[in-house]
Amino acid sequence: MRIFNKTLIALSAVSLMSSFAFAQTVAIKGGKVMTMSKKGTFKDGVIIIKDGKITALGKGIKIPKGAKIIDAKGKVIVPGFMQSVSTLGQAGIPSLSSARDSSARGSGMTASFTVKYALNPYSNIVADNRRNGLTRAVSAPSLSGGLFSGTSAVITLDGQRDLRIKDGPMFASLRAGGNGNVSWAKIRIIMDQVKHYQKNRARYMKGQGRRDYMLSSADMDALIPVALGVKKIAITLSGRNDILSAIDFKKEYGIDLIIIGAEEAWMVADELAKSKIPVVIDAMANLPSGHDALGSTLKNAAYLEGAGVLFSLTATGVGSTHTAYLVTQFAGNAVAHGLSYQGALKAITVNPAKIFGISKTYGSLKVGMDADVVIWDGDPLEVTSNTEHVFVRGIEYELKSRRSMLRDRYLDLKGENKKPFARR
């Protein structure tokens, strides 16, 4: 369709034009600045953005000559938000299998699968999430049919050629490997075999030594960094018994572990805090998804905060990708059920930055950080608020996407817009 072609061209032009503005110095003055750092929140200050970084912020900051000035009086300024688990940059049409690049199902691959080759910087979904204040995400593999799903990617939603900032954790799902009891037995056996394989890899590749490993050599190679504790593994599980098993697993094997889901985490919050295992939760999970999630509650986040657990919030299902930006509303709902307001903002900025290893460059507003800065016309956790300016790594992007362009195209059906575009 002609509208499809015109939209893609227009969106490409938006990204291209934005890149030309990279070198321009920008000064944001006024407004309520929520830094998510030790500097806290202040009003009517100045933020200076230059060459993709925040070079100054606070009160009494001198605005450089020639800088573009944005008046943020009466506005709220926060870091760009982050979605902790998604398929952003991969999935295009969930109902169309040929448009889903997030799963290794049927390929013979599990742990050796990686999403980095599927990342599409020109995805319409990336632009739409960005205009709604989302600037970072973890793009994760979907279930492969085995215990392991593969390696994720930590991405930036700037629409540039390479979305990937770094490889993310290895993903695994406890239920994908059978029942929880079987899965824990499998994962221990596999970790033991990976360590043996790593020590004897040279002999194995020559056809010598044992050949009865549970996984292929490619999958074993991918798991070596996990077994050595130098690569994180994110395991999806729900119940408190499995969470306690995960804590034991970390102690026994020295694994750098992240728990995804954790609907019953609040029941063992103190144990999680002591183990220093971070969790990623769906703040809207309040109904049992299975027998191991009978304790699901909207207060999960509040209990974790009270115990001092490092956690982040995520949206799930189609909402984890096409409308991943709704994680702001998830955070707002968590506040309504006991989570502190500051804790909710941390759970979609600085906390996921810490969990996924990018806190040195993203997650808070302070000098030297990437300039992921979003200006809102009101409370960013309120559903009626909208973004007015979105910066990703210092580039300001137009608040435009295929969805908004289609809305504008058909908003007024009078005059020249009376008839829709024909197919050609």
Residue 63 has, within 13 A of its CA and on its CB side, a CA count of 14
| pLDDT tier at 423, thresholds 50, 70, 90 | very low
Q: Kind and range of the H or E element at 55?
A: strand 53-58
Mean pLDDT of 116-138: 91
Residue 159, pLDDT above cutoff 80? no
Q: Where are the alpha helices (DSSP H) in 200-293?
A: 201-205, 217-227, 240-253, 269-275
Find the range with the poorest average confidence among 136-145, 226-235, 375-384: 136-145
Mean pLDDT of 96-101: 55
pLDDT in tens, 61-82: 999 999 999 999 999 999 999 9
- Average pLDDT of the residues of the chain: 88
Find the range with the poorest average confidence among 207-221, 245-259, 322-336: 207-221
Calculate helix-pair angle for 180-199, 240-253, nearest 10 degrees: 10
Mean pLDDT of 344-362: 98
pTM of the model: 0.89
Regarding predicted confidence, which is higher, 363 or 415? 363
| pLDDT tier at 8, thresholds 50, 70, 90 | very low
pLDDT in tens, 109-119: 899 999 998 88
Residue 102, pLDDT above cutoff 90? no
Predicted local confidence at residue 1, as pLDDT: 40
Q: What residues pair up with 151 in beta bridges, in sequence order? A: 114, 170
pLDDT in tens, 26-47: 999 999 999 999 999 999 999 9
Residue 397, pLDDT above cutoff 90? yes
What are the Cα distances from residue 283, in Å, to 59, 276, 312, 341? 35, 20, 9, 14
Residue 318, pLDDT above cutoff 70? no
Mean pLDDT of 213-229: 94
DSSP string, 102-135: S--TTTT-STT-BSGGG--TT-HHHHHHHHTTEE
Predicted local confidence at residue 358, as pLDDT: 98
Tallying the residues shown for the chain, one arrives at 424
First to last CA, the chain: 6
What are the Cα distances from residue 254, in Å, to 180, 223, 301? 20, 14, 26
pLDDT in tens, 366-385: 999 999 999 999 999 999 99
Residue 327, pLDDT above cutoff 90? yes
| pLDDT tier at 20, thresholds 50, 70, 90 | very low
Q: Where are the alpha helices (DSSP H) in 1-65?
A: 2-20
Q: Which domains, from first to last, does the chain contain? A: 2-78+387-417 (2.30.40.10), 81-362 (3.20.20.140)
Regarding predicted confidence, which is higher, 398 or 210? 398
